[in-house]
Structure 1
Amino acid sequence: MKYPKTAIYLGIGILLGACQSSPTISTITANTDANGCLSTAGFRYSALQQKCVQPFNAATFHFADNDDGTLSVYVILSEDKQLAEVFANNLARPLILQANKGGYVSDDGKIRLIYAQNRWRLTGR
């Protein structure tokens, strides 16, 4: 039986298309951080939620980064509001703050998340 050339070329095209590579485990692993979060998709590990999250979707609130107005700082509060987890581009890993009068403070007291005049502000010494 003879097949027209177009059918042969179409068949070869379908076979070649099926053989194209898809992402492999090693490719996906290369895009994950130490916690297994897919960092290229904006995921970071949240210690408060014990899972990978996209801070821009999971944040309780966010505000503009004081150093760069085009960036944001994202904050996730624990269910009991006793802890705040701060995500920012200039932080190597999220920062956990403890509830304190008027807001939250880091363990060393150098970073504060303060609610005053109807807005949140992040300060550091």
Structure 2
Amino acid sequence: MKKIITLFVLVLAVYSCKLTDQKEEETEAGKPNATAKDSTVVNDKDENGCLASAGYIWSKVNKECVKGFSGIQLNPMDKPDNEDETLSAYVLFSEDAKQAEVFLPNDTTSIVLSRSAEGKPWIFKDWQLVPWKGYVLKKGAESKFAGDGEIGKKVTETDTEQ
């Protein structure tokens, strides 16, 4: 009788180990385990490592992640008193000011314009950035955006008396 009980315990132990191995194989084979199902991993970095959810985009001119709306704000010509930052274009310059990088609204890429000499416009294909009373951004002959040349958001109203 002792031999039968010992044999039964041994078979039960081996069979239990086999079930454990099968469960691990199923998890590895693609069935999600409880830990992976319960956790959420968000990776919203772009191909250059810029954190898009925080408003960072890659600057081709400065070769680093920048906040697109930290440059010179250019408002649409049809809305010069625009307060909606998402409708504005933004310009960042290289250190030597020979290149201007333009971030257009609703566009994930930027346009890099170059100029031949000081006082001349920055040009790329049919885009021009003209230094005139600040800056005017043109596409062909049509003026699209303009701004006073100051960096950052413009405050048009204030709640303090002067």
TM-score by length of 2: 0.52
Q: What secondary structure is seen at the aligned counterpart in 2 of 1:97?
A: strand
Q: Tell me which residue corresponds to 1:112.
A: 128
Whole-Å separation in 2 of the counterparts to 1:45 and 1:77 = 14
- 1:82 equivalenced with 2:93 (yes/no): no
CA RMSD of aligned residues (A): 2.1
Whole-Å separation in 1 of the counterparts to 2:78 and 2:45 = 27
The one-letter amino acid of 2:123's match is: V
**How far off its partner does 1:103 sit?**
1.8
Whole-Å separation in 2 of the counterparts to 1:67 and 1:38 = 32
Whole-Å separation in 2 of the counterparts to 1:93 and 1:74 = 12
Q: What secondary structure is seen at the aligned counterpart in 2 of 1:56?
A: helix
The one-letter amino acid of 1:40's match is: S
Q: Tell me which residue corresponds to 1:103.
A: 121
Whole-Å separation in 1 of the counterparts to 2:51 and 2:135 = 29
- 1:72 equivalenced with 2:88 (yes/no): yes
Q: Tell me which residue corresponds to 1:3.
A: none
- 1:54 equivalenced with 2:70 (yes/no): no
Write the deviation string for residues 9-68 of structure 1: whole angstroms up to 9, x where unpaired: xxxxxxxxxxxxxx86x41x2x122222111111000011111110222x1x22213366
Q: Tell me which residue corresponds to 1:33.
A: 46
The structure having more radius of gyration, on CA atoms, is 2
Equivalent pairs counted in the alignment come to 95
Gaps of at least 5 residues in structure 2 are 1-38, 141-162
Identity %: 29
**Aligned with 1:91 (options 80, 83, 107):** 107
Whole-Å separation in 2 of the counterparts to 1:44 and 1:79 = 18
TM-score by length of 1: 0.65
Whole-Å separation in 1 of the counterparts to 2:76 and 2:52 = 20
